[in-house]
Amino acid sequence: MKADMNTAVERYYDTTLDLYEELWGEHVHHGFWDEGERPDADGADRHRATDRLVHELVSYAGVPDGARVLDVGCGIGGPALYLAGALGCAVVGVTLSASQAARAGEKAQEAGLADRAEFHQLDALSTGFPDASFDVLWAVESLMHIADREAFFAEAMRLLRPGGRLAIATWSQRDGELSQDEQELIDQILKHQVMPSFSSLEEHERMANAAGFTEVASVDWSRAVANSWDPEFALIKKPEHGRATMVSLARERGADVLGFFYAGPLMKKGFDTGVVTYGAIRAVKPVEASRNADTFNEVVELLRVVLDQDAAWSASITPATTLDRDLEMESIELTAWSKVVQARYGAAADLAAHVAGLGVDQIIALTVGDIAAYVNAQADGA
């Protein structure tokens, strides 16, 4: 599922890169307008409105000047170059699309910012970056493409330094149960935009809290961004020759490219009916989480020794890695791991006994992060 979705997202953005840049500009995301503002001679045009959204997220999340930033789903580098330029940040952008990464790199060179902004084709959930590598994890309209959002928040917790900040702007959906018509509309949007699902802003907050973040908050920007999907309002340039262009592109690049054109009316309807929402989420990695991170790293190192893996293997293990499916641990390996953990943390840290006391569903869902938290708790009580 994950591999299939990643491949589909990569193909979609490789296919539509030039269309987004030509019709939407360097910021491939929503614009932000004040209530009653129109993009005429006295108001923000689409390009300035997309700049405004970046500024709003910087302010809302408290992104500091000079921060080291991981930009998840960096697109063609619009927000990253603002962070690197105006704020003097050191930015590492990752995207599933090789074409986007290459174009972002070109734009960084053109802007004279290649020394502060670099871009890579990487999966955001398995970048290989060391723990506590970044001051800010920035994700503008990329989280919708990630099916396992709990894993995203766990990985963000791993990658951020204590006190580091999470800054997210995302498409979302109304909280609560949807009607059949609402769900059908959502399903159409997901299909054409190559997304597995939407979460509500409230669900994002719950996932951030569950991952251990503090100061978690969200703000609904739906009314400020909804007009991004109204071509007349946002003054979005239309493709020459209209439908003929769409047919020609589909023949050249495949039918997937049509999702680019279908999205507009569907998203406008979603905002008009209130089923589609949009907002920002902010959170902070607590300073005390550094001890948990230290324990996690030590527990992974002990596991690496037991499984006789090389040093590079540890980078592939995140707090969200499960024992049953991802690691496929056998009981003999768990017993050996338990013994070396006890030698390090004391007899109370008996992993084998802990796991034996869990139900089947709990064992299937048990993660390395859960084990580290258990070990921390037992070490505290020893």
Locate CATH 3.40.50.150 in the chain: 2-284
How would CATH label the architecture of 2-284?
3-Layer(aba) Sandwich (3.40)
The answer to whether the predicted template modeling score (pTM) of the entire model surpasses 0.75 is: no
**Tokens describing residue 219:** 């703000």
The DSSP annotation for 260-324 comes to HHHHHHHHHHHHHHTSEEEEEEEEE--TTHHHHHHHHHHHHHHHHHHHT--GGGGGG--TT-BTT
Q: 12 pLDDT band (50/70/90 cuts)? A: low
Q: 233 pLDDT band (50/70/90 cuts)? A: low
Give percent of the chain with pLDDT exceeding 70: 81
Q: Which residues contact 224 (CB under 8 A, 6 or more apart)?
A: 32, 33, 34, 35
Closest by Cα among 325, 329, 321 to 151? 321
**Tokens describing residue 217:** 């908050």
Q: What pLDDT, in 10s, does the model give residues 52-66? A: 999 999 999 999 999
pLDDT at 128 > cutoff 80: yes
pLDDT score, position 60: 96
Q: Where are the alpha helices (DSSP H) in the chain?
A: 2-24, 46-61, 78-85, 98-110, 149-159, 180-193, 201-210, 222-225, 231-234, 243-253, 258-273, 289-307, 331-345, 351-356, 360-365, 368-381
Q: What pLDDT, in 10s, does the model give residues 256-268? A: 555 556 677 888 9
pLDDT score, position 18: 54
The DSSP annotation for 330-356 comes to -HHHHHHHHHHHHHHH-TT--HHHHHH
Locate CATH 1.10.1200 in the chain: 289-381
pLDDT score, position 235: 53
Contact between 367 and 358 under an 8 Å Cβ cutoff? The reply is no
Per the DSSP assignment, residues forming a β-bridge with 172 are: 277
Amino acid occupying residue 159: L
How would CATH label the architecture of 289-381?
Orthogonal Bundle (1.10)
Q: 249 pLDDT band (50/70/90 cuts)? A: very low
CA atoms within 13 A on the CB side of 346: 10
**Sign of the CA dihedral with 365 first, then 369, 371, and 376 last:** negative
